[in-house]
Structure 1
Amino acid sequence: MSVITHAQAYLVDLPVETHRTDASQSFLKQETIFVEITTADGGTGRGYSYTIGTGGTAVLAMLTDYLLPRLIGQDAGRPESIWRNLYFATRATAIGAVTSLALAAVDAAVWDVRCRNAGLPLWQLAGGAKDRIPLYDTEVGWLHLSADELVEGAKAAVQAGLSGVKVKVGKPSHVEDAERLTAIRTALGPDVDIMVDANQSLTAADAVRLARALEHLDLRWLEEPLPADDVAGHEALSRSTSIPIAVGESLYSAGQFAEYLKRDAASIVQVDVARIGGITPWLKVAHLAEAHNVAVCPHFLMELHVSLCAAVPNSRYLEHIPQLRAITKAGIEIVDGQALAPSSVGLGIDWDLDAIDDLRTA
């Protein structure tokens, strides 16, 4: 047994690496919530979670006041048991972002210990389906960029070997959105995947109109066109367009994904390991999607998602948004436009502990 004897949590603020805007918000900073655990046999684990600018101290309070005290005495080799114990102890605040983000940091730390004790990297212990995953780039497609800047950035991403680019939509007119995307498709040709993200900004009627205006561009997917809790709206939109509909970054439970899949309301699952509550439920959602013959293309957190994408057979893309370079010694390894699964034991993230200490805020 790897009995947990000590647990602590703290907050690190990371500035964004570039100006990021979409139809709903700006990425202000990354509040990075860390959890570190120690076990009686000398094992250690480090997990993390995040927000994009608000709520980090609330997540930290959930951890220090409620979750971490319950960790002491539990076996780090039993992530399912720990996750359920903590989840049911906080049912009054579940399902919700704060609880899920807190659970995710704990669960990642537990998996880190488990992998280290087994002498294996996460991607192998969690399934080991493949050793690499194609990348698409989001940094080139923010909403504030001009059409010329979008084209220039998209070309650079393709020249770097990436297979696709994602572009934000949400201009005052869907005609303007279509013109920007048409410029990119014309510049890249038919063989590069173009993803489109509306960040929950559209009404049901506007989503249908936008999809109709974009169908001729052969898009890889249309992401979060409607509010995440509008399953019926996504179901109707999916039936009205040939563009695959992607959802998941704003869903916080496996049950929410199950409802989308049952109703054929999404054909791309973008489960986020932090927002779903950790590695343990992430794997459940990925396998649920596999059972429905649906691809997994997770949201953000590429440094952790690269291992989870490698763990499961139905992953198709990893989103390229570098955000941990200020607190890591090395980034993910990229060869021919594909991210390689890390070979080091544990989560596979090469943390710079001195840099983390310098940026601690709470």
Structure 2
Amino acid sequence: MAKIEKIEFRMVNLDPMVVRTDAIQSFVRQETPMVTITDADGAVGTGYSYTIGTGGASVMRMLIDHFAPLLLGRDADRIEAIWHELEFATHATTIGAITSIALAAVDTALWDLRAKKQGMPLWKLAGGARDRCKLYTTEGGWLHIETQALVEDALEAKAKGFTGSKIKIGKPHVAEDLRRLRAVRDAVGDDYEIMTDCNQAFTVDEAIRRAERLADLDLAWIEEPLPADDIEGHVRLSNATSIPVAVGESLYSIRHFREYMQRGACSIIQVDVGRIGGVTPWLKVAHAAEAFDMPVCPHFLMELQVSLTCAVQKGKYVEYIPQLNEVTTSRLEIRDGHAIAPSEPGLGIAWDWDALRRRSVGEFTTEVTARSI
């Protein structure tokens, strides 16, 4: 048993690599809570999660003030026990984003540490279903982008071997969305996937109306059409359209996913490791999706999600949105339009520590040991 002896915390602010807008917001900053855990053997694991610009300070206080004292002295390999004990200790703030994002940073650090100690890449340790998976791009499909630019980006992605492109929808009138999507479909042909993302912008009736107008475009899915807590609305929409309904990036509990799947409220599972609480609950959701024969197409964090998508049987797509280039020396390997699972032990992310230190917020950069508490 190797006990946790030291924990380092930092929050790193990252600017989007391109302008990112959708139907309800603009992605102005990625706040990146990071946790580095060292055990008594000297083994080190680093994990992280994210916000899109708000709440990072609250996540860091949860980590430093509430999680750190409970982690020191624990056996780092008892990941399942640690996850549940941290969740229970903060049960007054669950189920919710702040606790889940904090849990994700700790949990991914523990999985990184375990994988490194065992000399295995995460995708093998977590299941090893395949060594690559399909890749689609979102970076050229933001809502503010003009139609011709959407077309050009989709054609370029197709030429590179990508499987599909995601286009944000939610223009004031469905006719605008339809024109943009039809232009892309006419350009790329029928053998290229077009995903759409509404970012929770619609009412049930409006979502049903828009889905009906878009049905003949043969869309791969319609993502987050309604507020994430409106399960009944998703049931109505799923029953009203042939377009697959995708949910998951704004769900924070495995039980929420269970209810969506049981009630037929979705058909694509987009569980986000940074929001569900880490690798531990992510794998549970993915295995539940297999029981319902639903593909897992996780949201964001491609540098980490590639390993998880490759780990499980129903893993299908990785979403191409690079965000860590300025603070890592590794890059997602892309071959023939597929994301290749990292071969290095651990998460497969090589951090540039000098770059991280330059971008760290001083208030939340701290080291905790048994002697410091």
Q: TM-score if structure 1 supplies the norm length?
A: 0.99
**1:315-348: per-residue Cα shift (whole Å, max 9, x none)?**
1110000000000102110000001000000111
Amino acid in structure 2 at the alignment position of 1:319:
E
Q: How far apart, CA to CA, are the structure 2 residues paired with 1:29 and 1:150?
A: 23
In the alignment, is residue 234 of structure 1 matched against residue 234 of structure 2? yes
Aligned to 1:127: 127
Aligned to 1:191: 191
Q: Which runs of 4+ in 1 moved over 2 A?
A: none
Q: How far apart, CA to CA, are the structure 1 residues paired with 2:203 and 2:82?
A: 40
Q: How far apart, CA to CA, are the structure 2 residues paired with 1:208 and 1:101?
A: 32
Q: Within 5 Å, which residues of 2 pair with 1:228-307? A: 228-307=228-307
Amino acid in structure 2 at the alignment position of 1:231:
I
Q: CA deviation at 1:8?
A: 2.2
Number of residue pairs the alignment of both structures matches: 362
Q: Which runs of 5+ in 2 are unaligned?
A: 365-373
Q: How far apart, CA to CA, are the structure 2 residues paired with 1:68 and 1:292?
A: 37
**1:88-111: per-residue Cα shift (whole Å, max 9, x none)?**
100000101000000000000110
Aligned to 1:64: 64
Aligned to 2:370: none
Amino acid in structure 1 at the alignment position of 2:243:
I
1:9 is paired with a residue of what secondary structure? strand
**1:15-59: per-residue Cα shift (whole Å, max 9, x none)?**
110000000111011111100111011111100010011111110
Q: Which runs of 5+ in 1 are unaligned?
A: none
Q: How far apart, CA to CA, are the structure 1 residues paired with 2:73 and 2:294?
A: 39
Q: Within 5 Å, which residues of 2 pair with 1:1-362? A: 1-361=1-361, 362=364
Q: CA deviation at 1:224?
A: 0.3
Q: How far apart, CA to CA, are the structure 2 residues paired with 1:172 and 1:122?
A: 43
1:351 is paired with a residue of what secondary structure? coil
Q: How far apart, CA to CA, are the structure 2 residues paired with 1:318 and 1:45?
A: 23
1:296 is paired with a residue of what secondary structure? coil
Q: How far apart, CA to CA, are the structure 1 residues paired with 2:304 and 2:166?
A: 20
Question: Does the CA contact (< 8 Å) of 1:223 and 1:247 recur in 2?
Answer: yes
Amino acid in structure 2 at the alignment position of 1:202:
F
Q: CA deviation at 1:124?
A: 0.4
Q: Provide the aligned C-alpha RMSD in A.
A: 0.6
Q: CA deviation at 1:214?
A: 0.5
Q: How far apart, CA to CA, are the structure 1 residues paired with 2:43 and 2:85?
A: 21
Taking only the aligned residue pairs, the percentage that are identical comes to 57
Amino acid in structure 2 at the alignment position of 1:38:
T
Q: How far apart, CA to CA, are the structure 1 residues paired with 2:99 and 2:9?
A: 14
